[in-house]
Structure 1
Amino acid sequence: MRWDELMDRAGGVCEFCGASEGLKAVDVTDQDQALLCSVCRGGGEAEAAHWRCLEGAAWSAEPGVQIAVWRKLGEIDAAWAVETRANMMMEPDVLARAEGQAEVVHLDAHGMPLAHGDTVVLVKDLVVKGAGFTAKRGTAVRGISLVLDNAAHIEGKVEGQRIVILTEFVKRK
């Protein structure tokens, strides 16, 4: 992001504490930046009370700021910081970037990306353990859900049963 765009987004102030002096762009991840003052960047000693500004900054709509706040709160050993971090509302992909995890991408048997709500077709007969039936090849599974922490699994309804299906056995319709 260019300097002038970052300044416009932040309103010309530190995105943590609101200070207007000593601002610099900080690369939070390879795709996220935040505009921070020298104190919030760690360039000087800050009183413990200074970091209470993170309670307000945690509500930023900007992913880069959310990630920076989440990480800084993890460094602070205080009950208010732990509580603020636990109550932050972040999209799953933003939280994954904050934790340094790669985004989980679900791919069908042909390498096509799958999304929540897609319709897929089974490419193989699947014995459904515990349900007593076999899901036949060619069966359409509508409105799938992605298992967020496992790229090899999706969920969907087959014959009225909610089941977990391996992505290698489906193709996107």
Structure 2
Amino acid sequence: MNLEAVLKSRAEESCELCHSTDELRVYGVPPEESTAPENNILVCTKCDAQLQKKEQLDAAHWKILSETMWSEIPAVQVVAWRMLNRLQHESWAADNLDILYLSEEDLAWAKKTGDHENDGFVQFHVDSLGAQLAEGDTVVLTKTLDVKGSTIKATLGTVVKNIHLVHDNTEQIEGKVEGQTIVILTKYLRKNNA
């Protein structure tokens, strides 16, 4: 039996975090990179996107952790602990965090990623119109830009393909203009949806 089938059987065909039955997938609980069922859980697309910080946390969605944190599966407990920490500004999450018990080994696993030290707010790279940007997107300049230290002039309407997100600054991306990699402020571009 493959991993997904094992997890579906264990989870009774529902998300192990919120009980949703929509579009289930396997989530490997970091930093463990293993196909062993005990290091993976079955999650829905909404939980997966928020776990991986691809969308903002929806606190109301996670209130179900009050029930699911009591799972006998250590991987579920670890993820519940991490999410409760990310949501600890919510009184219900702080209360649940106070009563959730993890073994020393599972608590060490939960702390390994450092994710519990971050708040629930996720910053994204967005263009001048507020559309979320992703690695590899194509963008169009909305303003003519002088490129510092170069004779290149990035003109209004220039298409920049296969952008790279600057991970420590959500207001910047990197892209090639006239064969040279430059840093561009996101407020001067828009996502090309063509």
TM-score normalised per structure 1 = 0.54
Verify the 8 A CA contact 1:106 1:146 in the aligned structure 2.
yes
Say which one has the larger Rg: 1
- Residues 13 and 160 from structure 1, CA distance in 2 versus in 1: closer, same or farther, beyond 3 angstroms? closer
> Hey, what does 1:5 align to over in structure 2?
68
Note closer, same or farther for the CA distance 1:140–1:149 as it changes in structure 2 (3 Å cut): same
User: Which residue pairs with 1:165 in the alignment?
Assistant: 184
- Residue correspondences, number: 119
Note if 1:118 corresponds to 2:125: no
Shift of 1:13: 9.6
CA RMSD of aligned residues (A): 3.6
Check the 8 A contact 1:14/1:36 in 2, yes or no.
no
Matched, 1:36 2:55: no
**8 A contact 1:108–1:172 mirrored in 2:** yes
Q: Does the aligned pair in 1 maintain the 2:174–2:183 contact within 8 Å? A: yes
Residues 101 and 162 of structure 1: is their aligned pair in 2 closer, same or farther, counting only changes over 3 Å? farther
- Give the distance between the partners of 1:12 and 1:132, measured in 2 at CA: 57
Unaligned runs of 5+ in 1: 17-23, 41-49, 59-65, 70-87
**Cα shift at 1:146:** 1.5
CA 1:3 to 1:166, structure 2 compared with 1: closer, same or farther past 3 Å?
A: closer
Aligned to 1:28, the other structure's residue is in SS state helix
When normalised by structure 2's length, the TM-score is 0.49
Cα deviation per residue 1:113-155 (whole Å; 9 max; x = unaligned)?
Answer: 2122111001111111112110121111111122222221111
Partner residue, 2:172? 153
Identify unmatched segments of 5+ residues in structure 2: 1-63
What is the one-letter code of the residue matched to 1:29? R
Q: What's the % identity of the aligned pairs?
A: 34
Structure with more helix by fraction: 2
Q: Which runs of 4 or more aligned residues in structure 1 lie more than 6 Å from their structure 2 counterparts after TM superposition?
A: 31-35
